[in-house]
Structure 1
Amino acid sequence: MVVQSLMTEHGMSQRRACAASGIARSTLRYRPVPRDDSGVITFIQTYMALNPRHGFGLLYDSARHQGKPWGKTVLWRVYCELKLNRKRAANPC
């Protein structure tokens, strides 16, 4: 990493090394938090198995009505990861 080499080879402080390289100091300490979406996935899959013709709007309304703790953004992200936002073939019946 550029900042580490500036600090060790040139004896610069962390603050000066970050300023010289043009990055924020908080990026050195950033650790991504792993997401546990298992509850969201099971909820979406069971809801869509019972209501295959419902879209995201009704799924979100159902989650709100049941008092689930996930927001719209989390539901939409997992909904898209499951590829449920794609157009489905029309039923010829």
Structure 2
Amino acid sequence: MIAAHGISGRQACKTMRFPRTTFQYKPKPKDDEEVINQLEQLVEKHAAIGFWQSYKRIRRKGFKWNHKRVYRVYTQLRLNIRRRAKKRLPARAKQTLFQPETINQVWSVDFMSDSLWDVASSDC
């Protein structure tokens, strides 16, 4: 429209109801070489540390990258370490319940309450 009708970019955007900022936007390539180098150095030294420890060490070195940028590079480099699986109890072997063969072979006691003395009948 600008070349065909010879109007300015501002007028063309206004006519098309198109934001000028979108028209003027020029994408910047992401330069993450420094972040990649720092993360690779940390992984070589400390293989078992996770993202947050890596990020904190980078910040302590004086770099001011935010955690979102560092995390994006961290995941692109596939540095996500697998966490140990939760320790689980071994599966129990199922056993059938014991059924007594005769009367009085097995006894059990069912306690509804347990006390050393009865408060109501004591002679205090």
TM over 0.5: yes
The TM-score with structure 1 as length reference comes to 0.69
Q: CA RMSD in A?
A: 2.5
Q: 1:58 aligns with which of 48, 53, 61?
A: 53
Instruction: Determine the structure 1 residue equivalent to 2:73.
Output: 78
The CA deviation string for residues 4-63 of structure 1, in whole angstroms up to 9 with x for no partner, is: x3x455666544532443421112211112222111101101101111111111001111
* Larger gyration radius, structure 1 or structure 2: 2
Residue 82 of structure 2 corresponds to residue 88 of structure 1: yes
User: Which gives a bigger RCO, structure 1 or 2 (Cα 8 Å, sep 6+)?
Assistant: 1
The TM-score with structure 2 as length reference comes to 0.55
The structure in which a higher percent of residues are helix is 1
The CA deviation string for residues 63-84 of structure 1, in whole angstroms up to 9 with x for no partner, is: 1211123221221111121122
Instruction: Kindly provide the amino acid, as one letter, of the partner of residue 48 in structure 2.
Output: R
Question: How many residue pairs get matched?
Answer: 85
Alignment gaps of 5+ in structure 1: none
Residue 49 of structure 2 corresponds to residue 49 of structure 1: no
Alignment gaps of 5+ in structure 2: 85-124
Instruction: Kindly provide the amino acid, as one letter, of the partner of residue 56 in structure 2.
Output: D
Instruction: Kindly provide the amino acid, as one letter, of the partner of residue 78 in structure 2.
Output: K
Question: Percent of aligned pairs with the same residue?
Answer: 33
